[in-house]
Homo-oligomer: A and B are copies of this chain.
Amino acid sequence: MAQSHYETLKALLSKDGSSFTKSRKVVFDLLLDQGAQSMQVLSKRAEGQVDRATIYRTIELFERLGIVHRVNVGWKYKIELSDIFLGHHHHFYCTGCGTTYSLSTNSMLETMIDSAVAKEGFSPRSHQLEISGLCPNCQS
């Protein structure tokens, strides 16, 4: 059975010699609770609990440890928990309504992406695919 998300988080932090603090828990919970979020939304939601500067520092740490990653959605970036927490997936950004959809994984596609670059001598570690266009609702 897989570790709980908190256990995974704690393990990653402690492996780095960093501690599991209240602020870090708050930020992690906010990310668990909703999908990709902008820095401003995170700051707003954490208001009164965690200072803005601490959020930036926390995200920087989380990113370095592979706990979160940035996703480019439409115009500005957002922060999202990484694959170990959410499972691997991609994003579809609807230019009609601005919504971002998570796309279920297609293992054939994943394999193909990695092997395409491996064939050219690169050693892929991760990838990010963002597709944009119109969602079913906006096609009419």
B130 and A127 form a contact (CB under 8 A): yes
Copies per complex of this chain: 2
Partner of A131, one of B95, B101, B108, B122: B122
Can you name 24 A-B pairs with beta carbons within 8 Å? A77-B77, A94-B122, A101-B122, A103-B116, A106-B116, A109-B109, A112-B112, A113-B129, A113-B131, A117-B131, A122-B133, A122-B134, A123-B134, A124-B131, A124-B132, A124-B133, A125-B134, A126-B131, A126-B132, A127-B129, A127-B131, A128-B129, A129-B129, A129-B130
Chain A residues with a Cβ under 8 A of chain B:
70, 72, 75, 77, 92, 94-95, 101, 103-104, 106, 108-109, 112-114, 116-117, 120-136, 139
